[in-house]
Amino acid sequence: MAKTTAQVGASAAEASRLPAPGEGKRGESGYLAYLLRQASAANRLRMERALDDLGVTVPQFFVLTMLGAYPGISGADVARLALLTPQTVSVIMNNLEKVGAIARTPHPVHGRIQTIALTEAGRTLLAGCKARATKVDEDLRAGLTSEEEQVVRRWLVSLASPEEGLTA
């Protein structure tokens, strides 16, 4: 018996429906590398939404975080730590300086290098960002025991360990 146009259209639409996260290769049978990328993209979207009303992007948050953790480091060091290109960090630094979140000073020994530090406004902004990021982290950990969380943390750190030759 011949299929009607509606039946052909319905089966084509069914066949071309993209799987949702958790289905097909986007699920547990998918490649780990793809699943890690999928999770990273979903987490980035959560972070973007969490930081949006502060007017801070995820890369800006990473830069602020590294400057808060390691005061006085250079822009090149920030780029390495935040896993961003030096060009991206340069743009971010200019924008953060314009809003008064950071201050740059010449390095005491190497004249061409600038050290960057958070201002009081930058520390306040970072504190607001951290509160939002903490909530995203709590959501990520929901449903995990502390032991399971440690396994996940060890595994993620091992993926980027120097002995694997995968560091930036």
Domain with residue 106: its CATH number is 1.10.10.10
Residues 59 and 82 sit within 8 Å (Cβ to Cβ): yes
**CB neighbours of residue 24 within 10 Å:** 11
In a domain, 16, yes or no: no
Question: First-to-last CA distance in the chain?
Answer: 60
The number of folded domains in the chain is 1
d(CA 19, CA 24): 6
In a domain, 25, yes or no: no
Tell me the pTM. 0.79
Which of the two residues, 74 and 14, has the higher pLDDT score?
74
In a domain, 6, yes or no: no
Over residues 82-105, the pLDDT tens digits come to 999 999 999 999 999 999 999 988
pLDDT of residue 10: 57
- Which residue(s) pair with 106 in the sheet? 114
Q: Which range of residues forms the domain containing residue 148?
A: 31-164
Residues 114 and 74 sit within 8 Å (Cβ to Cβ): yes
In a domain, 79, yes or no: yes
Most confident of 4-18, 22-36, 45-59: 45-59
pLDDT of residue 129: 98
Instruction: Answer yes or no: is pLDDT of 64 > 90.
Output: yes
Q: pLDDT confidence of 21, banded at 50, 70, 90?
A: confident
In a domain, 5, yes or no: no
